[in-house]
């Protein structure tokens, strides 16, 4: 099975660039990335992205904190395009499971990306609410787990095993930190990995020999030392 690569970015120029690259299969955004990209009007900026990205799956996240407003935002976001996935956090800021929101939207056939998942217990709860006929993604935050000294692989193994029963539910490796995470995701048969542009560029250069890398590294040291005019 091929592990699909999504680009985790909201910058318009970057999305426009990677949209034309066959290596990239889709895009994920979140409110933090949208803010970083300079978006002032959430809807207008999202529609601007969708004008250039018309086919590849693209996730936009709700930012309301109560279920009623989450649903309102989700229905609006869903109307923006056929390739849109609505991102719903697994809990709100109070830690309350968003199961009722997930169930209503999934039963209506709205494609979802359930985000900020850190435990297999959360994955199981999400599965119970998802309509198995509706396309859905479960985003597990591997990098952030690893940042705290936790091994993310066990939750992926269990979640992927559970998802194999359902062709419409995909597991996504989120918060990618390095190119090797792609190898790990492939080895696990993870459906999708989303990563920042820097890591995608690193993957595109896979296959370079270690001897070549050694020479390039030493050349870099030499170049910088000469620029700095170091003397001992």
Tokens read off for 19: 């949209």
Per-residue pLDDT tens digits of the chain, which is 232 residues long: 899 999 999 999 999 999 999 999 999 999 999 999 999 999 999 999 999 999 999 999 999 999 999 999 999 999 999 999 999 999 999 999 999 999 999 999 999 999 999 999 999 999 999 999 999 999 999 999 999 999 999 999 999 999 999 999 999 999 999 999 999 999 999 999 999 999 999 998 888 888 988 999 999 999 999 999 999 9
pLDDT score for 213: 86
Q: Are 80 and 50 in contact (CB under 8 A)?
A: yes
**Residues pairing with 59 in the sheet:** 28, 85
pLDDT score for 1: 82
Residue-wise burial string across 80-100, b where 16 or more C-beta atoms lie within 10 A, e elsewhere: bbebbbbbbbbebeeeeebbe
E strand map for the chain:
4-8, 26-28, 58-61, 84-89, 112-117, 136-141, 169-174, 192-195
pLDDT score for 52: 97
User: What is the rounded distance in angstroms from the CA atom of residue 129 to the CA atom of residue 104?
Assistant: 9
pLDDT score for 207: 83
Residue 215 CB neighbours (<10 A): 11
> Does the domain at residues 4-206 carry the CATH identifier 3.20.20.70?
yes
CA angle 97, 102, 105 (to 5 degrees): 155
- Residue ranges per structural domain of the chain: 4-206
């Amino acid at each position: 099975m091929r592990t699909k690569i999504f680009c985790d970015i909201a910058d318009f120029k970057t999305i426009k660039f990677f949209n034309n690259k066959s290596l990239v299969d889709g895009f994920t955004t979140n409110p933090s990335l949208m803010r970083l990209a300079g978006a002032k009007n959430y809807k207008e900026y999202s529609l601007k992205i969708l004008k250039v990205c018309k086919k590849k799956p693209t996730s936009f996240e709700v930012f309301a904190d109560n279920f009623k407003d989450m649903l309102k935002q989700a229905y609006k976001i869903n109307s923006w395009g056929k390739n849109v996935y609505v991102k719903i956090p697994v809990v709100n800021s109070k830690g309350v499971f968003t199961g009722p929101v997930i169930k209503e939207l999934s039963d209506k056939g709205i494609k979802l990306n359930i985000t900020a998942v850190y435990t297999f217990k959360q994955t199981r709860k999400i599965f119970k609410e998802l309509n198995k006929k509706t396309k859905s993604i479960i985003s597990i935050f591997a990098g952030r787990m690893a940042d705290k000294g936790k091994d993310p692989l066990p939750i992926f193994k269990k979640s992927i095993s559970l998802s194999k029963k359902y062709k419409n539910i995909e597991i996504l490796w989120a918060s990618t930190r390095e190119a090797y995470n792609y190898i790990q995701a492939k080895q696990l048969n993870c459906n999708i990995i989303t990563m920042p542009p820097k890591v995608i560029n690193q993957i595109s250069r896979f296959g370079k020999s270690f001897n070549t890398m050694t020479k390039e590294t030493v050349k870099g040291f030499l170049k910088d030392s000469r620029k700095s005019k170091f003397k001992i």
